[in-house]
Amino acid sequence: MVAVVTPYTTATGLMDTLQVTVLVLVALGATAVVLTRDPVRQVIVLSVYGILLAVLFLAFQAPDVTLSELTVGAVALPILLLLTLAKVRGREK
């Protein structure tokens, strides 16, 4: 495949390296999210995982999905999870 030249293209080898790196980081991030047992800490790790996923989607040339994943995975989902945990903790006391 001939690389297309636009003001935004980078060398193919560079893009491949970026994609491989972020894929490995995403796999490690998913493992970290699952292995964190305390729910409050897990929410923070989920937020970081969401940002890693957003970078992966950007490396796959999908800026729309990046925007969605950033707003939802790093902001909206942690808000909902933390509110639920606050509700549950308030009842246990």
Residue 20, both tokens: 């491989």
Instruction: Tell me if 45 sits within 8 A of 32, measured CB to CB.
Output: yes
φ/ψ of 13, rounded to 5, equals -65, -40
Site for another protein in 16-55 (CB under 8 A): 16, 19-20, 23-24, 26-27, 30-31, 33-35, 37, 39, 42-43, 46, 49, 53
Residue 67 found at the interface with another protein (CB under 8 A) = yes
> Shortest distance, CB of residue 24 to another protein, whole angstroms?
8
Choose among 74, 76, 86: nearest CA to 33.
74
Q: Is 79 in the site for another protein (CB under 8 A)?
A: yes
Hey, what are 30's tokens?
A: 């998913």
Rounded to whole angstroms, how far apart are CA atoms 25 and 58? 14
- Interface with another protein (CB under 8 A): 1-4, 6-9, 12, 16, 19-20, 23-24, 26-27, 30-31, 33-35, 37, 39, 42-43, 46, 49, 53, 56-57, 60-69, 71-73, 75-77, 79-81, 83-88, 90-91, 93
